Structure 1
Amino acid sequence: MAGEYEKALTIKEAIDAINNRDFLLPAIQRKFVWSSHQICVLFDSIMRGYPINTFMMWEVNDDEIKNGYKFYEFLSSYCQRFNEENPIVKTNAGFKNFKAIIDGQQRLTSLYIGLCGTYAYKQPRVWWPNTRDDNALPPRKFYLDLASALDSEDDESLMLYNFKFLTDKQYQNAAENPDSTHHWFCVHKILEMPQVEAPNRIWSGVLQPYIEDNGLQDNQFAKDALGQLYDVIRSIPVIHYFNETSQQIDHVLDVFIRTNSGGTKLDFSDLLMSIAIAHWDGDFRQELEDLTKQIHQSSDMGFYMERDWVLKTCLMLCDVDVRFKVRNFKSEQVELLQTNWKAIKECIKQTLILVRRFGINPQSLTSKNAVIPICYYLFKKQQDGKALYESINNLAKHYEQREVISRWLYMALLKGVFGGQADTILSSMRDVLSKHIDDELFPLDEIIERYRASNKDLRFDEDYIDSLLSIQYGEGRCRALLHLLFPEMRETEVFHIDHLHPKASFELQKLKANSVLADDEELMNFFSKPEHWNSIPNLHLLNDSQNISKKDRPLDDWLSDGKVNLTPETLLVNGVDLRFEAFPEFFATRRQALRDRLKSRVMMSTTLPAEPSDDDSDEEVVEEALA
């Protein structure tokens, strides 16, 4: 290793270096991934004098490296999902020498956001927007509560200092509340305070005026906390770092991978990026960003697909080993990926459009990896001399193909087969698909046979069928199950899940007011249980006009409306009393009819399959709003 440990820096000196572009990020770095809570813990550790580990810098002074490799600025205005990418810096031979951060990006970015920027994450119980929306993801500045310390016994993180990201509204509400027990100090202000050269004048010249102006002169904790914050940011050198001076990119790449392997695990895409960047003709990072944004913001798709997923799909389609191994990402494989990049992008988009037409929305796509085999099949399957993805969404063609593919996807989502060992099942799925790529239709029967009696068995048994029919409204698998049960739904329409007997009718107050139920405890108990009125037998897919007309109308009244275009027969309750008081008969009849239909739509087994693994759906940052 070429280099040595340098003199430690204060945090303010590091922030100044970031602002002056003396510190940049190499393209091999992952995106910023720390949660707001991790940032709070970092600042608490610094305030308490805990070590925050050594940083590693790469001193870049070679013109060829400045010309040939990409570097990025630090992120200051972070917004979950919508502003996670660092702005690129166009370096060239004339650009000044600088240091690239090899180890410590997450910590330095956290310090920079806390002291200079904002952090936006989704409000609890709010749907993800398709575009950046400050109402759903409000920017938050970083604050320290000077009023009092945290009770470490009540705090799971054992923090002493109460750091928190607050929206402007939360801060104003606290500031204007005369009963508030907090005094929130914006951490940005510590860098805005005047510079005092004599250490003995910091208190009287800088800190004491703030304490007195805000009525905190009798609060010893406030005095100590503000003084400690000033010291650890502006006076005490806490940034210890090793400066790597080698200009050999292979050596630096090896250092990067070894250094980062012990911390937060590198994303799949980050390791590929660390090698691909040297061989890609153009800005590979921007290509991925543009594709994921287009997928997310398109009304025909709307899915949030991480770049990890895109790159795993790329490797799958290029018949490259999909496993997380650096040695698999050689220059020839990157060149193969780039050669096919235009077709791969289009295939991914057409596949996701197809999945959306199957009725699967972002909330019900509980396993994104389940889409990858469909991508592979559409990419490799030739139809009329062209790849199938080019025409699969032409509704005048390929009806039977879409029907078989949709059945496979619904079954895979319902069984949760991609929840664990995703790389293994993707590889084996690729083997099955490639062997049967010349078959007329998607090889559903062969796939089922391949995983028979394994923990990825796609077959259903009697007990599993019963468990599916007990799925509740709002569960991720609910939509997939209803589409599997009712495949005749038009591909061009948007469908909503709604209760046939209205949800409002089962409110306890209304049930108690019903004279038929009032004197029958057993009947009242049946009506009041959500596993009856809120499960699949009382749910159906309605198009926009049907959903609007339904509202809270009683089922018998609604179906008598000639504009509804639904009948008891299509709902599988022909000859059943549809009045609300006869709900038990309706429930039993429809549940049995759905059970029979479901058994005809899937492959059955007499052996109980393994429980589905946890799915790989998105994890959301959900933190409680400030009370």
Structure 2
Amino acid sequence: MASQKYSVNQHLIETLMAWVKSGEIAIPEIQRPFVWDATQVRDLLDSLYQGYPVGYIIVWKNPDVQLKDGSLSGGKKILIDGQQRITALSAALVGNEVINKEYRKVRIRIAFNPKEERFEVSNPAIVRDKSWIPDIAPIMQGEIGLLKLVRQYTEANSEMDEDHLERVLTQLIGITKKQIGMIELAAELDIEMVTEIFIRINREGVTLSQADFAMSKIAANEIYGGNLLRKAIDYFCHLAVAPEFYFFIKENDPEFTATDFFKKMEWLRNENEDLYDPTYSDMLRVAFVAHFARGKLGDLVGLLSGRDFVTRTYKDEIAEQSFARLKDGVMAFMKENHFKRFLMILKSAGFVDSSQLQNRQGPLNFAYALYLKLRRDDYPADKIEHYVRRWFVLSILTGRYSGPLETLFEKDIRSIDQGDFGAFLVNIEAAELSDTFWNVGLVQAMNTSSSNHPAYKAFLAAQVKNNHRGFLSRNITVRSMLEHRGDVHHIFPKNYLQREFGLKRSEYNQIANYVYTQQEINIAVSNQAPGQYLAKVIEQCATNQPVYGGIVDLDDLKYNFEENAVPIALLDNPELSYGQFLTERRRLIAHQLQSYYFSL
């Protein structure tokens, strides 16, 4: 018989508010910014006033942890669903400030009109209108007695019947006596089970990632500084995208600005690089892989709770050690020298623009974790750069992290942790980068129209690394066009392929038909057949009068074809079919990628 996985109880709102205030229910200050607008807070209060149900909140009880003296410490309840409702109630009924989507502290004041028994978001007009109580929080907190309130209101609104007013205000104050259902998940449940239960009972179908659960666990532990660690992760990720957020932290969070965390991230205030903008999930995963040599965030949740995976008990010393290690991992992640050197490695491999790294978070995260781990293991700097470059490109070309990410991370980091990385890399290359991969597998994989295909993005990186020029360009490089948001164009113009052969989008938008070309060249080429516009390019090499780009030397033109892996046959054979061209260009791109990889 399956054990009970959760309990369901009804609790008074005033009880929940007391638990929040005492910390029995952990709602970290910035567990998530408050995303409701003020009208949603108003509607929640109206539903409670009218006696309508407002749904359940879900908490996950932290396990009781064995302390060093042998005693047990009772675990808090971590709020994993319902934060917006609980935060809304604490804002409207208690008067607490909330952190909004811009990470600014704001006060939400809800007004009440006893005559109309209506709630509204307070505004200057309401404050001036004597028929409104502009802020209900002081009343709900008992700062003004009911009799005094009735007297004051009727003095300002003589037409209001005192008995009716008393009944209305009693109903208003009675909101705190209304009940909200609370589903409490058992402490012994593992994270996979908690995730499954959450999905099944969450009425909105919202899913939480394991990183969400880990962040909740971190923030709920103030003994080992989890609340500040949580802030550090959130703040760093926000600063990486919005450097101006630095001044908000400086002005509004003096407690945090006094920490070493803040000193480690101050450099971001002048940083506008967007090559790698990590989320809190990325940051957690990298720190965990690098400093714990594990890949499954569910294990991190267990370790932060003090789980002994052998005895299946919870021990305080394990929680303490895990928080210390995670803090070290986060600090290493944030360190300016580490972060910038990692970006330098990416750029040295030819990845200079964020467009080359779209949907590459798996390879990016593991590469940064690998960088941090190799540094911790005292590998020479040149070896680290060489290994990280190769591993990152290998991961992209082979789609290494396109499957179940945590399982793959776990497998790789465990293998890497057991011996010399150089020997491990040689074995992986032998197994996955055979001649068959370069000459057959990679060539076949490029039969696609996706401009985000990893082989195409890696090809652009190869062109950047080799300082190659754009197609038919005399001086402008692919790097320059990437950095200045240049355009991808077609060697066989799409309008030409549609007009002459009736090809569909998936056929003319083949990645083997893509090149980076200056816009003015593309405009001049228009929808001409390759044989037509290339004949004029050959002619301009004879006349020294450029029409398409600035190349006026035939040898330089042929070299430009090599730079762009374009078949020379296209110059010599105007009748080369589109199908023959695609086959040959895929082979040339694969060959260039092979040379590029082994040059890293």
Give the TM-score normalised by the residue count of structure 1.
0.51
* Equivalence for 2:342: 351
Give the CA deviation at 1:351.
2.4
Instruction: For residues 564-595 of structure 1, give each alpha carbon's deviation from its aligned partner in whole angstroms, at most 9, with x where no partner exists.
Output: 9972232233544579x969746742542223
The amino acid across from 1:194 in the alignment is W
1:99-498 alignment to 2 at 5 Å?
104-109=82-87, 194-195=132-133, 240=179, 262-263=197-198, 265=208, 267-274=212-219, 277-280=222-225, 283-296=228-241, 298-323=271-296, 324-325=298-299, 326-329=301-304, 330=318, 331-339=320-328, 341-346=330-335, 347-355=338-346, 358-359=350-351, 361-363=353-355, 364-381=357-374, 387=379, 401=387, 404-412=390-398, 415=399, 417-437=400-420, 439=422, 443-447=424-428, 462=440, 465-473=443-451, 475=452, 477=454, 480-483=457-460, 486=463, 488-490=465-467, 494-495=482-483, 496=485, 498=487
Would the aligned equivalents of 2:345 and 2:389 in 1 still touch at CA under 8 Å?
no
Q: Are the structure 2 counterparts of residues 186 and 535 from structure 1 closer, same or farther at C-alpha, using a change threshold of 3 Å?
A: farther
Q: Which has the higher helix share?
A: 2
CA distance in 1, matches of 2:521, 2:172: 61
Are the equivalent residues in 2 in contact too, given 1:303–1:362 (CA < 8 A)?
A: yes
Separation in structure 2 between the aligned mates of residue 234 and residue 256 of structure 1, nearest angstrom: 38
Distance 1:575 1:471 in 2: 23
Change (3 A) 1:500 1:114: farther
- Deviation track 1:18-69 (CA, whole Å, cap 9, x = no partner) reads 9xx99998465773278779x97985976892342268899xxxxxxxxxxx
Aligned length: 432
Indicate how the Cα distance of structure 1 residues 341 and 49 shifts in structure 2: closer, same or farther if over 3 A, else same: closer
Higher relative contact order (CA 8 A, sep 6+): 1
Q: Secondary structure at the match of 1:447?
A: helix
Once the two structures are TM-superposed, the CA of residue 425 in structure 1 deviates from its matched residue by 1.0
| Equivalent in the alignment of 1:32 | 32
Amino acid paired to 2:31? K
CA–CA distance in structure 2, aligned partners of residues 500 and 587 of structure 1: 18
Map of 1:512-531 to 2, 5 A cutoff? 523-526=500-503, 529-531=504-506
Q: Give the CA deviation at 1:338.
A: 3.3
Contact 1:26 1:101 in 2 (8 A): yes
Give the 3-state SS of the residue equivalent to 1:318 in structure 2: helix
Which of 571, 585, 594 does residue 593 from structure 1 map onto?
Answer: 585
* 8 Å CA contact retained: 1:279, 1:334: yes
- The structure-2 alpha-carbon separation of the partners of 1:254 and 1:500, relative to structure 1 and needing over 3 Å to count, comes to closer
Distance in structure 2 (CA, Å) of the matches to 1:534 and 1:288? 41
State the SS of the aligned residue for 1:552. helix
Query: Whole-Å Cα distance in 2 between the matches of residues 290 and 273 of structure 1?
Result: 15
Distance 1:8 1:54 in 2: 12
Deviations 1:289-344 (A, max 9, x none): 34323543543344332222212211211134332133323311322343465434
- Highest Rg: 1 or 2? 2
Where do 5+ consecutive residues of structure 2 fail to align? 1-8, 62-76, 110-118, 135-148, 159-168, 199-206, 244-270, 305-317, 468-477, 526-532, 538-546, 596-600
In 1, the alpha carbon distance for the partners of 2:15 and 2:121 equals: 16
Change (3 A) 1:535 1:242: closer
Deviations 1:241-269 (A, max 9, x none): 599xxxxxxx9996999998754646143
Percentage identity across paired residues of the two chains: 10
- Cα-Cα RMSD: 6.2
**Alignment-mate amino acid for residue 466 of structure 1:** Q
Alpha-carbon separation, structure 2, partners of 1:352 and 1:444: 21
Over 3 Å counting, the alpha-carbon distance change for 1:35 and 1:105 in structure 2 is closer
Give the counterpart letter for 1:240 in structure 2.
Answer: Q
Shift of 1:525: 0.9
What aligned pairs does 1:541-620 form with structure 2 within 5 A after superposition? 541=516, 547=518, 550=521, 552-554=523-525, 556=537, 557-561=547-551, 567-573=560-566, 575-577=568-570, 585=577, 588-598=580-590, 601=593
Please report how far the alpha carbon of residue 379 of structure 1 lies from its aligned counterpart in structure 2 after TM superposition. Answer: 2.7
1:322 alignment partner, SS class: coil
Instruction: Check whether the contact 1:45–1:52 (CA below 8 A) recurs between aligned residues.
Output: no
CA distance in 2, matches of 1:409, 1:595: 20
CA distance in 2, matches of 1:350, 1:305: 16
| 1:321–1:239 distance in 2 versus 1, CA, 3 Å | farther
Deviations 1:223-248 (A, max 9, x none): xxxxxxx99988755852599xxxxx
